[in-house]
Chain A
């Protein structure tokens, strides 16, 4: 039950989801579909064919002006000076202590124009943080474009074939984590990015957020994908897909109490690029021998499903950590989890126990990602 009476926010496709009888949940204050046609079926459609997600609840912050690169560099841990126009990368905004404001994808739209895609549940906090942190810097305007776009994620091995039927842009020319603008469903200047949150190939498109346009594009994607078995997918499948791919979720693997090095995302923190918020803290943690705990993949070896928040124990009974995300894996048909444990428990094949409703159930540390798609030439 919601504790406050704040009405849930809706994407432009809300009526479409409700008409389709999708199961809706409150996700970070948004009324979103969690299950459209059955979580497992949706999950498998994305792994083996194609699925489409409404991810319009994600936010979009634009930094524009001659000072925009300097602002992005101060705000985000990855090195945006390495981005070409039309290229994107995974990054994060950090607090001075090296923990997460949010993880983000930074897109370089032009030399003086960057688009930072942020999480839904952290939108207001993020926008406020951006204004506070770089608002005073010269030559940069901050625009919150979050409500301007309906963002659709078309994901799966047949995503390119599906979307290709709706655009004249040759999608084969867009490499992973690059983007372009093209005509989609007759709409001009649509941003088409080869990005996603499923561990599969796929695209995210940004279309105008009016209800009629959004509903039309949604219907068109489902129609052209029908021959491949496309399914409308909800946040339930989005979560199990990203968990198999071991991608972080804010509030779970990353938060304002977990730092970048603990989260295993140090490779995206470019400590040699110059000053950015959180850099000093990360350097200090490194100088002091690195983080004390780390994020590991667990696979249950006894019967039971470890879930978010379940405590993790050493086999001698000491409590050592907690699961951040855990679920049955629909594709791998195993029970998997991500958990923070002290680094000395982080070696592969280390056995631990998860307390599941009062019972100790054995699990072992396994490599992540749990699932990695086969590389094919794109």
Chain B
């Protein structure tokens, strides 16, 4: 699956799509594929703040639990409640299944994130052993 060119990515496998001051956050196709069947997503509440590089929640597959890391700092403005009952949506389409919307506290942080091309290179290095 291709990584959308208008998203930015973290080395912890989150994506963010920025539109003005609002960033939409999810996990990548690489991440969902590594995790396997996702059964549980633990997310913050609207109004909570998240901090770039810090854990903001967790995602669990049958076999493992993984931290979610914030690509940017900001305040949560929306949470995808659909994931409470249907976390497997992330497996079926990681690129469009969002988790959070965040009001960015520092838009410049986005520039430090990986581009789609960088991320693709990063993941191919991670798998290619």
Name A residues whose Cβ lies closer than 8 Å to a Cβ of B. 23, 34-35, 38-40, 236, 239-240, 304-305, 307, 327-328, 330, 357
Contact = CB atoms under 8 A, between A and B. Distances in A.
B40 interface: yes
Contact of A305 (B36, B37, B39): B39
Interface string B90-125: 000000000000000000000000000000000000
A223 to B, nearest CB: 26
Interface residues on B, range: 10 to 19
A307 B40 CA distance: 13
Contact of A35 (B36, B39, B58): B36
Given A35-B36, A39-B37, A305-B40, A240 B65 contact: no
Contacts of B58: 357
B60 interface: yes
A156 to B, nearest CB: 18
Contact of A240 (B40, B42, B62): B62
Contacts of A38: 36-37
A182 B36 CA distance: 38
Contacts of A236: 36, 62-63
A294 to B, nearest CB: 26
Chain B, interface SS category: strand
A327 B63 CA distance: 7
Chain A, interface SS category: mixed
A328 B65 contact: no
Nearest to B64: A307
Contacts of A305: 39-40, 60, 65
B63 A40 contact: no
Interface string B52-69: 000000101111010000
16 contacts: A23-B34, A34-B63, A35-B36, A39-B36, A39-B61, A40-B37, A40-B62, A236-B62, A240-B62, A304-B40, A305-B40, A305-B65, A327-B63, A328-B39, A328-B62, A357-B58
A240 B39 CA distance: 14
A357 B67 CA distance: 10
Contacts of B42: 357
B120 to A, nearest CB: 18
Nearest to B88: A40
B63 A330 contact: no
Nearest to A236: B63
B62 A39 contact: yes
4 smallest beta-carbon distances between A and B, as pairs: A40-B37, A328-B39, A236-B63, A39-B62
Contacts of B34: 23
Contacts of A39: 36-37, 61-63
Contacts of B39: 305, 328
Which of B39, B42, B61, B63 has the most A CB atoms < 10 Å from its CB? Answer: B63
B46 to A, nearest CB: 19
Contacts of A307: 65
A327 B37 CA distance: 12
Interface string B1-44: 00000000000000000000000000000000010110110100
Contacts of A40: 36-37, 62
A39 B36 CA distance: 7
A304 B42 CA distance: 9
A328 B41 CA distance: 13
B18 to A, nearest CB: 29
Contacts of B62: 39-40, 236, 240, 327-328, 330
B100 to A, nearest CB: 18
Nearest to A40: B37
